[in-house]
Amino acid sequence: MNSEESEMNREQRHHHHHHKRHRKGWTVTKLILVILGVLILAGGAFAAKVYMDVNQTAKTVYKPKGKTQNKRKVSEKVDLKQKTPFSILLLGTDTGELGRTEKGRTDTMMLATVNPSTKETNMLSIARDSRVPIVGYGQTAKINAAYAYGGIPMAVNTVQAFLNVPVDYYVLVNMKGLEQLVDAVGGVTVNNDLDFTYEGHHFEKGTVQLDGSTALKFSRMRYDDPRGDFGRQLRQQAIVQAVLKKATALNMVTNYNKILQVLANNLQTNITLKDVLNIQQNYGDAMNFKTLQLKGTGQMIDGQSFQVMNPTEVAQMSTRLRQQLDLK
């Protein structure tokens, strides 16, 4: 083999070796791109599944308010995209799963007014024994009986008439569901201002960690509280606020199925998924809670214990809530 042939062979071998390296490199690059593509598609598929699951739960729990009185003028209509302040009536019942026929009484009643401009959510606890006219029933009774007598429409109309404010949305939750929800978010931390023991569990004063079972006990005690039902209302508010904050801070990838299941079994509302997304996008600054209470005087009337409200104090609270809702 002469030097010229030898040189030619070397060039051919070099070219062949270079071509093999190039082909191998192209294959690795393609493999990486394919893997990335699969991951992206999987992530997209997961996101789509999450959305479908959430949407299905939203449809399951959705139920309109029914025939309720419209307390807003046309110019005051709630537009969540435009960040209109709005109200939510939170009702808690102990009747078991919401699908059962008996309604029971709403032993927990809170009205939240949400305003992104003031960056506040006022949360008013309504004493369940408040003596008020039950709208549509024709009698004066405890306000927590309105739901038992006429469901959501009667409860909403009664609260609207009592406080002279519109109730834009409602959320009805079985209190047993609150226990499950606390567990679903991994427990909550609240500040306890009263040392007490209830149903075999001791709650020390200060910061306490609660799971579902202890949260339910924490929210139910009232007879050993010198503030009576008002102290119980404060503890209920603390748990609701803690759950809301914990749920919004959670990694929903690992917890969303459990949370959705609890909601589907224990919650009813007229808030749609579209509403939820708009609230999440436009009202995040309003997650600063202010606790409000209306205190009446305890009176026995016709053999029943009532909280009788001072009309002046009710009017003052009404004015405050209407200002929070930007209503005249």
What is the per-residue pLDDT across 32-49, written as a single tens digit (0 to 9) for each? 666 556 555 555 665 676
CA distance linking residue 222 with residue 201, whole number of Å: 14
Low-confidence ranges of the chain (pLDDT < 50): 4-8, 14-15, 17, 19-24, 97-102
Report CA dihedral (110, 116, 119, 123) to the nearest 10 degrees. Answer: 0
Determine the pLDDT at residue 265.
87
Determine the pLDDT at residue 8.
47
Determine the pLDDT at residue 41.
59
Determine the pLDDT at residue 36.
58
CA distance linking residue 239 with residue 219, whole number of Å: 8
Determine the pLDDT at residue 281.
85
Q: Which segments of 142-272 does DSSP mark as H helices, in order?
A: 146-163, 175-184, 212-220, 229-249, 252-266
Per DSSP, what are the bridge partners of residue 289?
Answer: 121
Taking only the tens place, the pLDDT of each residue in 254-313 is 567 787 888 888 889 999 988 988 888 888 888 788 889 888 899 999 999 999 999 999
Q: Which backbone phi and psi does 281 adopt, to 5 degrees?
A: -80, -35
**Which of 111, 94, 108 has its CA nearest to residue 161?**
111
Taking only the tens place, the pLDDT of each residue in 305-314 is 999 999 999 9
